[in-house]
Amino acid sequence: MGETLMKNHHALLNQDEENEMDIFGYRSSTCRKSLCICGYIFSLGFLWLIFYWKPEWHVWATCIPCSLREADVVLLRTTDAFKEHTWKNVSSIQLSASEYKSYSAVAQDVDSVINKAVIKPDLWVRYIQVQKIRYIWDEYSNQFTKSGILEDHYTCASIHENFGHGFMKEEQDVRRLICGPNIIDVGIVPIWKLLFKEVLSPFYVFQLFSVCLWFAEEYIEYSVAIIIMSVICIGLSVYTLRQQSVKLHRLVESHNNIKVSVYGKHKGIFQEESHHLAPGDVIVIERNSILPCDALLISGTCIVNESMLTGESIPVTKTPLPSTDNTEPWKVHSVHDYKRYVLFCGTQVIQTKSSDFVKAVVMRTGFNTAKGDLVRSILYPKPVNYKLYRDALVFLCCLIGLSLVGMVYAIVVFTLDGAEVGEVVKKALDVITIAVPPALPAALTAGIIYAQKRLEKSGIFCISPQRINLCGSVNLFCFDKTGTLTEDGLDLWGIVPSNGYRFQDIIPITGGSSLSWGPLLGAMASCHSLIVLDGSVQGDPLDLKMFEFTCWDIVEDPEGDSEDSMTLKPGPEANKVTVEGIVILQQFPFSSGLQRMSVITQILNGDEYAVYMKGAPEMVASFCKPDTVPINFSDELELYTKQGFRVIGLAYKVLDRSGNLNIKALKRDEVECDLSFLGLLVMENRLKLETRPVLKELSNARIRTVMITGDNLQTAVTVARNSGMISERSNVILVDAKEPTDSRLASIRWTVVQVVKPKSFEEVDIYIDTPDKSNPDIKKPPYYFAMTGNTYEIILRYFNNLLQKILINGTVFARMSPGQKSSLVEEFQKLGYYVGMCGDGANDCGALKMAHVGISLSEQEASVASPFTSHTPNIECVPQLLKEGRAALVTSFCVFKYMALYSMIQYIGVLLLYWKKNSYGNYQFLFQDLAITTIISVTMSLNHAYQKLAPYRPPAQLISPPLLLSVIFNIILSLTLQICGFLIVQNQMWYSSSDIYSACRPANGSYLNDTTGNHYILQSQDPTVKTEYQSYENTTVWLLGTLNCLIVAFVFSKGQPFRRPIYTNYIFVVVILVQVAVSLFLLFANISNLYTAMELVCTPLLWRGSIIIMLLIILSLSYVSEETLIESRTLWNLLKSLTNYRSKSPYKKLQRLLSKDSDWPPLNHTELAIPTDVAITSELGDYVNPSFENNEKL
């Protein structure tokens, strides 16, 4: 059923956000609901179950499409590739006339979404609750908008004017009612709800159907066994989900009941529960408190610990929003560093400084806050689009289709035989439970659980187990640099002062400070964000190293409530200086987007005011007067960055105090201009000891590695060379793009980096896509692209037809902001890569969430958004994760193949016996289902990962030629085996269809065969009664099928190169040996009571030997074909070459085309953007964002 097209029926919810959804309006229909209820009753609840699984069908069946304004039900559909549906009822809030009248009388902000949400004259507010967020209906824009947030359209001045003095009680009450409570409520899900949701999954519904059928056929034992197993699995699942729910509840529970000081209009400060807060309220910030919401600082300064968000326990200074009178929204006014005004929910306030009160306007509440968004990312994780699961569903559908064929066959056979209708139905339904293995999902899950436990033992914790299989497909891994590839700490290596037109000699760092008083020392002593906490100086490690070198001290105001209390004085070990100290009057904090920070200072007890800046050298130099920047600036900077040093630029200027300049009113762009360049700080950032060996291991596994860092480009390139990510003899091409101006188009320049001095370490060539071996005549020297975040943004905007080409060999991406990191990961994914990301949690959270596999090296709260977290603070966890991922993926394939073959073996056997109006006995089914298959499916997954990463990945999909061939070939072998046994046994001279003792007769519980005389000696004449299923066909087919299951389990239990050899899985080996021994015992036992219980009959020893020979032939054919044909990479590569097969991955196609392009890569060349009025066409096709479109012709 399609969506009816009508005006205002459809809209977008959360447009351009990560959780964007389509929303459709519907009106409930009483008539339709009544018909559906009748359908529920007549279908015995099956129709309701279908609607439970497919919520969109429920809405389409019970509701009529209408406009969103008239809707009482809305249907939501995600706009991603999954198109998941949910539906929500539209609720309403009724305001009384007196409430609204009182609110209207005191409301200051007439443009508020609160006013637009009230539908007049009824005075009610319509809303929906989606993923913990309340959306209220906006009558003016005719759409649902988020409540619980302060709109972005306010200017700095309007925020101070409208909200700075607080609300009257009447306005507070209405805002709180409409916006909802300020709580991040993660309730502990009741056990009955978890149980209900688990039991109603399609897997358990099918199991319930199977068990009911088996009980009807008196197949009691296995039914009970399945019930016990299901109860255990459901219990474990419910327990795990319950524990996660409790853990998450405890994580956020303490933040929901905090006492806060609220500033009310005409009321002053009063205490209030934090859950009563609403956007626009003014709260008073107190030191050592936890923020219960996101708030905009409007007076005073704060120092907070944002480790919950960034993963770094570094104090961050927050400054008040200026009351600048302009027409720009406040975020636009401070586009790059607006976060320095925002206090985020869940962060801890370490210090407050103000001459009065530190006040902040509530900006976002509940799940709209930064902490709420973090919790929502756990509650509603991004779905995993993985081929294995899609292929598994396709394969299961094929099995269901096959079972339908078997049903028709069973119906025809038993109907023609004149069987009763009930018996025909039971036999036909039996085929479904045989062809579709009910235990398959549980068996697949077991392998994931084992892998998760092994990862936990290695110190890697996983919150998204389904992503473990994805780890096996990763072919590109991105790394942050600082704290990930290199050590966290920095050592000050030297200072390079500048005297205007050239750099002076470097001042090596030997001990204490050797600088005399001057701007350079002033910058190092004051341009930082350090604080004194519990008697020790704390802050960014770089700032600490720089400040420690000066030997100065931070002297705090004893009262601690003055915003001007940060005073710096020379310490006992400092050089004698001519000033008493420095007072920091204003600070513009560091921002990764701005790549700089600055401070306004005053000489203690003096009249000189100065501005100091510190940051990326290129950025700092751009704010300096040209005549103060040395002419050899670029060469000097390159000299140090190419040696792997981290370089910081310093600058300053003296403020002109004429005209009674108000320091506090100065804006950042007014201060950060016309500076004088002071020099460079050279910091040493060492590689972690584990970095090079790990990158070498990934290189040998042909896993491409990429560096994404916020550091200097040259430094990043050098670290990439030193770590082995870039080989010494390869070309590194710097890509530098310029934005368009009025006089020229956007341009891009390609420059080959000159190597300063080769190192003496062992060379490692990290894997990059190279031309196909099928084109040996095409050879190009290896090359790598390196660029900054600014260049990446320009290419994304103006050179999108080149972006995909560059990404194929792009290796170093420097000066990348958090948003750019996420964008880059997404662009790699569009090219067909399975992308992994490893970072230390600081500014990497977005990329960690975006990647297929994200692993955080930080144990801070921010890391909970990452699928994997390592307790080992280095990248050694990456190969271990990939090994376990590959092992888990191969295990999934092994289990899937085995379960499919087991079903087909049993399916073939039962259908053959149906021809003779026979079947397996209950104990025969029980032995195969429980004693063989259940135990094998659980123990087959116990193989550990292989110790070494193979130079290729396991297949990522079930529907691939090798796996399909393996399954089909073994099905043919099983079919041949059982048909041969079924037919040959009927042609034996001792065979009788009516007399099961024609070959040998029971005698006092045992049989005696005299093989020398070709006849059988009977001990006594006490014949037993024939059971329902006893026959020579049954015995032959069952024994062949049972031992065939064990052969398949052995053949499919793969070891190297992704899992350890089968003999290391001791439990599995013992299980197989015991099962083989028991099966052979049943074949040769000749114990009457046992044979009667198992519904077997005695056959001559020669025939039993024939069964063994047939099984050995099948074992040989299956094993040899699996090892020499199906698992032979050489053979498959030869077939690909003969058939001219080419990978369909976008990056593979593009790589082949680039290998034939003689003009690629461009060297020492400048290229201009194509004018917008010219159509962009190329041999490669266009790269269209945000979705990848491939127009290549091969």
Active site residues: 480
Beta strands in 604-675 (DSSP E): 609-615, 646-654
Instruction: Kindly state the helix (H) or strand (E) to which residue 803 belongs, with its residue range.
Output: helix 800-809
User: How would you write 891-955 as a 3-class SS string?
Assistant: HHHHHHHHHHHHHHHHHHHHHHHHHCCCCCCHHHHHHHHHHHHHHHHHHHHHCCECCCCCCCCCC
Structure tokens at 414: 């038993």
Q: Which residue, 124, 76, 114, 57, is CA-closest to 280?
A: 114
CB 998 within 8 A of CB 986: no
Of 270, 275, 723, the closest CA to residue 480 belongs to 723
Cα–Cα distance measured from residue 550 to residue 628, given in angstroms and rounded to the nearest whole number: 24
Closest CA to 216 of 436, 419, 430, 434: 430
CB atoms within 10 A of CB 306: 23
One-letter identity of residue 606: G
Residue 683 is encoded by which pair of tokens? 């910091």
φ/ψ of 377, rounded to 5, equals -65, -25
Structure tokens at 643: 């040696």
Cβ–Cβ < 8 Å for 371, 308? yes
Closest-CA residue to 318 (of 332, 297, 335, 345): 297
As separate numbers, helices (DSSP H) first and strands (DSSP E) second, the chain gives 38, 43
Integer-rounded Cα Rg, in Å, for the chain is 37
The rounded distance, in Å, linking the Cα atoms of 568 and 555 is 6
Question: What DSSP letter does each residue of 216-268 carry, written as one string?
Answer: HTT-HHHHHHHHHHHHHHHHHHHHHHHHHHHHHHHHHHTTSS-EEEEEETTTE
- Which of these, 1110, 592, 650, 1028, lies nearest to 845 by C-alpha position? 592
CB 235 within 8 A of CB 138: no
For residues 155 and 333, what is the distance between their CA atoms, to the nearest angstrom? 8
Distance, CA of 493 to chain centre: 39
Instruction: Enumerate the H helices of 254-369 as residue ranges.
Output: 307-310, 330-333
Q: In sequence order, what are the residues at sequence separation of 6 or more whose Cβ sits closer than 8 angstroms to the Cβ of residue 1037?
A: 909, 912, 913, 978, 981, 982
Three-state DSSP at 8 gives: coil
Beta bridge partners of 144: 137
Residue 558 preceded by cis peptide, ω within 30? no
Cα dist from 697 to 327, 808, 812, whole Å? 56, 21, 19
